[in-house]
Chain A
């Protein structure tokens, strides 16, 4: 029987592919919001014992990752988002192919790490690796500043999967602090995005290339 965690993680992998293939920013933001929700409910199905604090923490994560962060970005870029494409450096088809190759490679290397959890949940480590590398890919392969922020969030999602599933010593206060840091980081990025939009009337990072040696 397929474990529910693996079903959820399969959805996460799909959201990665959707984000690689989508040309419009709103789609990208929705894919990331969906990914945030799914990633944050994974701990419910892991079979760890959940305390009351743990449940509250997981729900709070879900709200922040699924609602708070996407809303924050959406508000920051309201006007630009409707009009603009993500300005890819690497095209969508090539990106999709790269995404598929990435998932295959991640599934291939994962068993070599020999972690106890991977025998129960086959997709756990491949998904984490895919999310982290895919986030970096979006950061490098898109010139649009919003797509870059979304790449950063995808990377954080990947680290969250590693943190909550492999390590059993979750101090919820600490994880909550990490979450708040990420939220504050995204908010600051959103403020900068707004300023980039006002200054250049665009969020293409090609404008941000004057400072260099």
Chain B
């Protein structure tokens, strides 16, 4: 039953490759719906897997899985309309890759064995590479090449890190399955030196995929060259999958009493990412790259929060969920803007408030949400992280953190104001299909609702996920 969640989209994905060009669209939505139903069932029943050595349902995995499922379903509805409007030549490859991408990401959330986790994360790179190359231009070719090469090399380092962790078992004389939960249980018997080495390699490896600076260079290119629904998936859920690998390893570190070591490194990478995003966001000329740098910022925030531990980890998980919901809606809006204005440059846009009012509402709402304004969840997450940082006495770090957030807000706001209100010659209304805006509304509303009311089961799952890092209240 557990394995079915990733086998189903894998099968439909393979089928989609061989279907006629446009026949994949209903299949996309159908698979999305079935996958969402499966995820909810997994959440409610929490069954055991057929291969318990390799796969398991864990609280942190379930959180990511539900986010993936919900996002994919809404994005697939948007995609059907987007594919009609946009000019994409090999549509069957696009839909097939989308489904395989969903399958591999689901596999990441359900994997329990350290090496299976690696296999699944590498598979996400391979499944998403054709998505970035969809437009077949020289620039998209360059973006795909960078993405595949940088991520593969990065993830190869994570493989080395995983091998080091098995080595820490050998040196420590521990004999348990090489699974995250089993290792967490016996963490204090593992050899600390090799465990630390393994963690550093895994952090650098999966951090590359997560978009942590200075290994982030592939991210803006890939996100800007991919078609918008694919960018929404890349930013909204792929980054979370890589984070999950780091999160689970960090759990072992905490159980082994090395939480301070891993926390310091995570905080450093997080801060560097936020600072890098703040530097580059000011001078952006393309709106999709702008959103990509904002993703780097948010991944930095999440890594920073996880590094602080305790309440900070809770805040990081909140940020993770809301970043997925809000950022994917922003990327879908960027698809509408691209179709409407026909250009990726910020300079080519303007007067969106008048010319595309429906998209404007979603885009501006998403901007407010991602910058951390109160009615949206990122505000709460960041608030918890800042509180936790003060409690643990990281005054300098939190100072830099807040300063960078202000700079990023200022830079982001300037560009968004330009897109929304700047005067342009043309004032004609651009047609907006309602099917291409309501998925964004649905995503933003979910974020809004989750800010005021977290269902008890969701709250319990988050607390279970962060429990061993001293999370919760």
Given contacts A132-B160, A174-B113, contact A188 B129 (CB under 8 A): yes
Given contacts A169-B169, A181-B123, contact A211 B156 (CB under 8 A): no
Q: Which of chain B's residues have a CB closer than 8 A to the CB of A192?
A: 129, 133, 141, 144-145, 148
Judge whether B153 and A208 touch: CB under 8 Å. no
A195 to B143, CA, bound (A): 13
Question: Among the listed A115, A168, A169, A208, which residue makes an inter-chain contact with B145, where contact means beta carbons less than 8 Å apart?
Answer: A208
Question: Closest CB of chain B to A156's CB: distance in Å?
Answer: 6
Chain B 120-138 per-residue mask, 1 if CB under 8 angstroms from chain A, else 0: 0011011001100100101
Q: Which of chain A's residues have a CB closer than 8 A to the CB of B170?
A: 166-169
Judge whether A184 and B133 touch: CB under 8 Å. no
Secondary structure type dominating chain A contacts? helix
A171 to B119, CA, bound (A): 13
Judge whether A208 and B178 touch: CB under 8 Å. no
Question: Closest CB of chain B to A197's CB: distance in Å?
Answer: 11
Question: Closest CB of chain A to B89's CB: distance in Å?
Answer: 13
Question: Closest CB of chain A to B97's CB: distance in Å?
Answer: 11
Question: Among the listed A115, A167, A184, A196, which residue makes an inter-chain contact with B163, where contact means beta carbons less than 8 Å apart?
Answer: A167
Question: Among the listed B115, B148, B220, which residue makes an inter-chain contact with A177, where contact means beta carbons less than 8 Å apart?
Answer: B115
Chain A 169-205 per-residue mask, 1 if CB under 8 angstroms from chain B, else 0: 1010011011001001100110010011001100001
A181 to B142, CA, bound (A): 22
Q: Which of chain A's residues have a CB closer than 8 A to the CB of B332?
A: none
Given contacts A167-B163, A185-B148, contact A195 B153 (CB under 8 A): no
Give residues 147-163 of A contacting B (CB, 8 Å).
148-149, 152, 155-156, 159, 162-163
Q: Which of chain B's residues have a CB closer than 8 A to the CB of A208?
A: 141-142, 145-146
Q: Is B159 positioned at the interface, with any CB of A under 8 Å from its CB?
A: yes
Judge whether A177 and B119 touch: CB under 8 Å. yes
Q: Is A25 positioned at the interface, with any CB of B under 8 Å from its CB?
A: no
Q: Is B283 positioned at the interface, with any CB of A under 8 Å from its CB?
A: yes
Judge whether A185 and B125 touch: CB under 8 Å. yes
Give residues 44-61 of B contacting A (CB, 8 Å).
53-54
Judge whether A178 and B119 touch: CB under 8 Å. yes
Q: Which of chain B's residues have a CB closer than 8 A to the CB of A156?
A: 156
A200 to B146, CA, bound (A): 16
In this complex, what residue of B is CB-closest to A145? B145
Q: Is B221 positioned at the interface, with any CB of A under 8 Å from its CB?
A: yes
Given contacts A155-B156, A210-B139, contact A169 B166 (CB under 8 A): yes
Q: Which of chain B's residues have a CB closer than 8 A to the CB of A76?
A: none
A205 to B178, CA, bound (A): 40
Most chain A CB within a 10 A radius of its CB, from B139, B144, B221, B224: B144
Question: Among the listed A152, A174, A189, A211, which residue makes an inter-chain contact with B115, where contact means beta carbons less than 8 Å apart?
Answer: A174
Judge whether A177 and B116 touch: CB under 8 Å. yes
Judge whether A200 and B283 touch: CB under 8 Å. no
Q: Is B69 positioned at the interface, with any CB of A under 8 Å from its CB?
A: no
Q: Which of chain A's residues have a CB closer than 8 A to the CB of B221?
A: 211
Q: Is B421 positioned at the interface, with any CB of A under 8 Å from its CB?
A: no
Question: Among the listed A169, A181, A189, A195, which residue makes an inter-chain contact with B122, where contact means beta carbons less than 8 Å apart?
Answer: A181
Q: Is B149 positioned at the interface, with any CB of A under 8 Å from its CB?
A: yes
Q: Which of chain B's residues have a CB closer than 8 A to the CB of A159?
A: 156, 159-160, 163
Judge whether A152 and B142 touch: CB under 8 Å. no
Question: Closest CB of chain B to A180's CB: distance in Å?
Answer: 8
Question: Closest CB of chain B to A186's CB: distance in Å?
Answer: 9
Q: Is B33 positioned at the interface, with any CB of A under 8 Å from its CB?
A: no
In this complex, what residue of A is CB-closest to B145? A192
Q: Is A49 positioned at the interface, with any CB of B under 8 Å from its CB?
A: no
Q: Which of chain A's residues have a CB closer than 8 A to the CB of B225?
A: 211
Most chain B CB within a 10 A radius of its CB, from A163, A174, A175, A210: A174
Q: Which of chain B's residues have a CB closer than 8 A to the CB of A169?
A: 166, 169-170, 178
Question: Among the listed A115, A166, A171, A189, which residue makes an inter-chain contact with B148, where contact means beta carbons less than 8 Å apart?
Answer: A189
Q: Which of chain B's residues have a CB closer than 8 A to the CB of A115?
A: 167, 171
Judge whether B141 and A195 touch: CB under 8 Å. yes
Question: Closest CB of chain A to B26's CB: distance in Å?
Answer: 28
Judge whether A167 and B167 touch: CB under 8 Å. yes
In this complex, what residue of B is CB-closest to A208? B142
Q: Is B118 positioned at the interface, with any CB of A under 8 Å from its CB?
A: yes
Question: Closest CB of chain A to B472's CB: distance in Å?
Answer: 34
Q: List 8 A-B contacts (CB under 8 A).
A: A162-B163, A171-B178, A181-B122, A185-B122, A195-B136, A205-B145, A211-B146, A213-B280
| Other A-B pairs, 13, CB within 8 Å; known A115-B167, A192-B133 | A152-B149, A166-B170, A167-B166, A185-B125, A185-B148, A188-B129, A199-B138, A199-B141, A205-B145, A207-B138, A210-B142, A211-B139, A211-B225
Q: Which residues on A are within 8 Å of B, measured CB to CB?
A: 115, 132, 136, 139, 145, 148-149, 152, 155-156, 159, 162-163, 166-169, 171, 174-175, 177-178, 181, 184-185, 188-189, 192, 195-196, 199-200, 205, 207-211, 213
Q: Which residues on B are within 8 Å of A, measured CB to CB?
A: 53-54, 113, 115-116, 118-119, 122-123, 125-126, 129-130, 133, 136, 138-139, 141-146, 148-149, 152-153, 156, 159-160, 163, 166-167, 169-171, 178, 220-221, 224-225, 280, 283
Which 5 residue pairs across A and B have the least CB separation, nearest first?
Answer: A208-B142, A174-B115, A167-B166, A177-B119, A181-B122
